[in-house]
Amino acid sequence: MTNVVLCGGIGSRMWPISRTYYPKQFYKFEEFSLFQQNVIRNEKICSKQLVVSNEDQYFLASDQLDDLKITQKAFILESTPRDTSAAIALAALSLDKDEIMFVTPSDHKIDNMELYEQATTEAQKLANDGFLVTFGIDPNTPETGYGYIKTDGNDVLEFEEKPSLEVAQKYLEAGNYLWNSGMFMFKAGVYLDELKKYESEIYEKSKEAYDAAKKGEMTRIPIDLMEQIPKKSIDYAVMERSEFVKVVKSEFDWNDLGSFDALYEDSQKDENQNTVLAKDYIGVDSNKNLIYTNKTVATIDVDDLVVIDSDDALLISKRGSTQKIKKVVEELKEKGSKLVDFHKTVHRPWGMFTTLEEREIFKIKKIVVKPHKRLSLQKHYHRNEHWIVVSGTAIVTVDDKEFILKTNESTYIPMGVVHRLENPGKIPLVIIEAQVGQYLEEDDIVRIEDDFKRA
């Protein structure tokens, strides 16, 4: 059985923690990220794993697998998102038709492994018999943020959209409605047959795109073919239409952590029912708040607040209203704000950089290059760069010259000159980069050669 991990989402309802290039599934609220927890959990059940991600998140996922000392890695990289029916089809096309796929979103929080393994064992028996299995979560509240499944034992009677509070209360009282978890299990060939039957264009375009991709540990789907695949979720494309669908009632503790309200409910609380994820917190007559920051924070006479403080943005919301964060993200997008996409620290396949200071004509960064990694051979048309080595040893290429820089040594890269930075050592290379120019955005990079095959 193969665990197909879907991790291409951006988690916009948990901004400003979750950003396009560092979404919530990779964020470490605990020792391990939600993505890592998923991998650890399903390693005990599945013989191998296949990660379906977008290109920008591949290196995050790969690094976090390295942290778990997982060396056998397989990725399918979507060049542009086309929803879950296509993502799962691409994974299915890479597997033997009789291989069982256990499809799991990477951002779920799940506890009670005994009940989890019971549910997956029941689902595997149904999948072996040729059924498309979905996991329904036994509800404990009239939740309006989830879809529901009306059931009769393992039979699915109907899929229901996200309901109003009144309707959700009726579902809870009826006793035969389950939350739709977004987890599935089936044979690869069965899924592809049903997709071909109900959404032939998605099937055909997915197959065409997969066949044209270069195969290997990292299978990259060509963007021109990926863009031709219609967008549709697996629920709408297959699960709500197939005659071979079964449901497994799942009683393990489950939370999709889709909002800060969900994070509050899932997290430990102090004696005043505050969830505190902060360096230091002083609460004076303050109750039932979610506080997230790396600073010392104090609250006085406030209740039921969500306070999320990142390095470059502050969110304050009433608990119960955090679904509206999507409206904030939409407005930021309309303004062209980079806050939707990036934190101050941006991860790259070779390491990371942190923007320390930024003004109209200069920008100062801290750059960390992993051992034995190097940046692309590149040039810029609009900026000059000054590099100072803080720790480690750098090999610097400038035009046709190559030289070594050690701690406290520096160099200057003129505008338009081809250059490269490399770490030949066994410890991280840390440099301070000062950029000066009239345009300082990341798209002023002309890559001439790149170890990671980026455009």
Instruction: Select the more confidently predicted residue: 216 or 319.
Output: 319
pLDDT of residue 144: 81
Exposed (0-12), middle (13-18) or buried (19+): which is 452, by Cβ within 10 Å? Answer: middle
**Average pLDDT of every residue of the chain:** 92
**304-346 pLDDT per residue, tens:** 999 999 989 999 999 989 989 999 999 999 999 989 988 899 8
Q: Residues 227-249: what's their mean pLDDT?
A: 94
pLDDT score recorded for residue 81 = 87
Residues of the chain with CATH 2.60.120.10: 345-449
Burial of 424 from C-beta contacts in 10 A (0-12 / 13-18 / 19+): middle
> 2-255: what CATH class?
alpha beta
Residue 286 structure tokens: 């303050």
142 pLDDT higher than 90: no
Number of alpha carbons in the 13 Å side-chain half-sphere of residue 450: 14
Separation CA 326–CA 137 (nearest Å): 25
Fold of 345-449: Jelly Rolls (2.60.120)
Across 370-374, average pLDDT: 96
| 136-168 burial code (b ≥16 CB/10 A, e <16) | bbebeebbeebbbbbbeebebeebbeebeeebb
Kindly report which listed range (8-17, 130-139, 424-433) carries the lowest average pLDDT score.
8-17
375-402 average pLDDT score: 95
Nearest to 61 by CA among 231, 213, 217: 217
Kindly report, as residue ranges, where domains of CATH 3.90.550.10 are found in the chain: 2-255
